[in-house]
Chain A
Amino acid sequence: MDNSVVGRAVFWLARSTAIGGGVALSVVVVIVVVSVIGRALIPLGLGPIQGDFEMVQAGVLFAVFAFMPWCHLERGHAIVAIVTDRFSPRFGALAEFIWDLLMLVAAALVAWRLWAGLFDKYGNGESTFILRVPLWITYSGGLVGALVFVVAAAYCVVRSGQNAASRAPTKPISGMGE
């Protein structure tokens, strides 16, 4: 992580978004557990939470989108570095720059099309089956992470671009996730 104001701001934003996604995932866990216990206690007059499936879907959707920027910023995506590591650090740095650029295009495509999808759902008034939540609201949940992803991807382009253009570029180190 670099110490410039922009660098710190982007990291803070991506980290907060990821933690927000994690909290949403934890809320999903609680909803499911309560719902399963309720279902098991139907004889005692309790019952499952209405629309728990839909809550799981909406929560996980929000979480997965919210996780994207942090993973990219931390260089967490699965890559194969064995070939590029045999060449000079500049070669690896240049490759990272190009793919970061392409990742920005992909992030922008996803955000743009998600927005278009949201607009469609807003227009036709579609809603979820049981809870009757308008779909444009669940789309908006995804859009939060998708937009932060675009910001993070743009930052990564600058980061790897500066590295590739510098006098002595460092070899990009992957911090692959699981």
Chain B
Amino acid sequence: MSNVELALWSFPVMLGLIFLRMPIGLAMLVVGVVGNFLITKSWNPSLALFKSLPYSTFSSYSLSVVPLFLLMGQFASLGGLSKQLFDAAASWLGHRRGGVAMAAIGACAGFGAICGSSLATAATMGQIALPELRKHGYSGALATGTLAAGGTLGILIPPSVILIIFAILTELNIAKLFVAAIVPGLLAAIGYIIAIAIAVRVRPGSAGAPYPRVPYLERFRRLASIWPVLLIFFLVIGGIYFGWFTPTEAAAIGAAGTAVIAFLRRGLSRASFIDAMLQTAKATAMIFLIILGAAALNNFLALSQLPQAAVNLVIEQGLDPWAVLIVMLVFYLVLGCFMDSLSMILLTVPIFYPIVTALDFGLPPAEFGLWFGILVLIVVEVGLITPPVGMNLFVINSMSKGTSMGQTFVGVTPFLISDIVRTIILVAFPAISLFLVQWLY
């Protein structure tokens, strides 16, 4: 068996192990080390590699942004900002039909602007918005579907941990990727609100009573009360964009800012601080095990020369670039039904990215990378709300007593349709993702 064939076979083997419940990061690591052995016929290269690989991965300055953004999200949850975001959104949207659910989406979008993680957004907003939705008589299906989908805005609206990892893998500029994600992220929020508006008209029973209409003066007053969110968002994103500080520094400043807010609002006790540390620990370790596994795997793949072989194959075959892109996006959607977004990105981007950059989509290479990044971000995030194992669905469902998993699956359907429609629009019109970057740079 040639090395390229060996690398090709390693994928079904690895997926088999993963589906047998093997931790994904561990599966990548084991396949990487064993694959390396099968190519070099010796364990020594791996032993030498592991002298430095965990050290250099865990002490990487560019990756240090990940735990800092996770910490920022934890502090943001403690600050009570979610309640204010919800009140502000409710004053603008709450009087409409399905308005309480729309307000929940609006609040999720606001929280997504200071939180780079999807589950943290879903869980934090769920605590505030689920009781409101149920109190107003919304069906369990629509309530849980709304919040599960709204949670994905945590990642779709920058800052976003997934985008950071994508930027590191592809050596793209993080600031530009964040800027490129802003408009598609807002489109996602608008698309979800439209999905609610349609869903409550198709099934009038699912929506409950709206809020009373709020006068405009009060609306602006409530909007003004969320200024800390806007300040931190502009400090973090603007700071990276204007080059005031590195992404790592921006994340640290964001973490400090949200910590100060949590402290001032008395959300920061000894117990809640320790809890925030332990949550950050769990999320960080999960991500870094996958990153370490992916590093070992990619060492093996590079040795096997599979990525180059794949590029050559696609070019020789003269495949239609758009067909290749669509197959990849559909692949992400299918895989996303079973696997978490970060694992998918780390597993596929080292292979897929060289292939798509070798194809001609009529875009300059730098801009193409940004566009592809946004598309991948969106399709892997859909995986968080697709049955059977969308993690957001489980988090929100466990918070809503008396709602079955089946009802949640039904409730999320309008949002899935909205996701698909948005993906098609963004594929067809790259300018939606790119014009802000072109305009600002």
Contact = CB atoms under 8 A, between A and B. Distances in A.
A79 interface: yes
B22 A64 contact: no
A85 B21 CA distance: 9
A81 B23 CA distance: 10
Interface residues of B, number: 64
Interface stretch (B99-107, B172-180, B275-283, B349-357): B275-283
Contact of B54 (A79, A95, A110, A176): A110
Contacts of B6: none
Contacts of B338: 80, 82
Contacts of A74: 282
Interface residues of A, number: 64
Contact of B389 (A29, A82, A138): A82
B26 A63 contact: no
- Chain A contact surface mostly: helix
Nearest to A178: B283
A139 B59 CA distance: 10
A139 B55 contact: yes
Contacts of A32: 248-249, 252-253
Contacts of A60: 58-59, 63-64, 67
A150 interface: no
Contacts of B304: none
B285 A71 contact: yes
Nearest to B239: A36
A63 B286 contact: no
A9 interface: no
B388 interface: yes
Interface stretch (B44-52, B84-92, B212-220, B312-320): B44-52
Given A25-B67, A25-B71, A76 B286 contact: yes
Contacts of A79: 18, 21-24
B39 interface: no
B30 interface: yes
Contacts of B29: 106
A177 B24 contact: no
Contact of A18 (B23, B277, B340, B391): B277
Interface in B231-272: 244-245, 248-249, 252-253, 255-256, 259
Given A80-B389, A92-B21, A66 B281 contact: yes
Given A78-B342, A82-B338, A61 B286 contact: no
Nearest to B276: A22
Contacts of A53: 61
Given A67-B281, A102-B26, A80 B54 contact: no
A64 B255 contact: no
A64 B342 contact: no
A115 to B, nearest CB: 9
A114 B47 CA distance: 10
A18 B55 CA distance: 18
B339 A80 contact: yes
Contact of B277 (A23, A95, A96): A23
A77 B24 contact: yes
Interface centre among B58, B289, B339 (most CB of A within 10 A): B58
B382 to A, nearest CB: 17
Given A22-B277, A71-B285, A79-B23, A117 B51 contact: yes
A64 B25 contact: no
A142 B58 contact: yes
A176 B391 contact: yes
A35 B117 CA distance: 26
A68 B289 CA distance: 8
Interface centre among A56, A67, A139 (most CB of B within 10 A): A67
Contacts of A25: 67-68, 71, 277, 280
Contacts of B252: 28-29, 32-33, 36, 56
A99 B286 contact: no
A21 B281 contact: yes
B19 interface: yes
B30 A102 contact: yes
A83 B18 CA distance: 10
A113 B54 contact: yes
B19 A80 contact: yes
A113 to B, nearest CB: 4
A71 B289 contact: yes
B274 interface: yes
A130 to B, nearest CB: 13
Interface in A1-33: 15, 18-19, 21-23, 25-26, 28-30, 32-33
Given A113-B51, A178-B117, A103 B21 contact: no
B343 interface: yes
Contacts of B120: 178
6 contacts: A67-B288, A71-B286, A79-B23, A116-B47, A177-B284, A178-B279
Given A76-B286, A142-B59, 17 more contacts: A19-B277, A22-B278, A25-B277, A26-B277, A32-B253, A36-B252, A60-B63, A72-B285, A76-B282, A76-B285, A78-B23, A78-B290, A84-B21, A95-B20, A106-B29, A106-B30, A178-B70
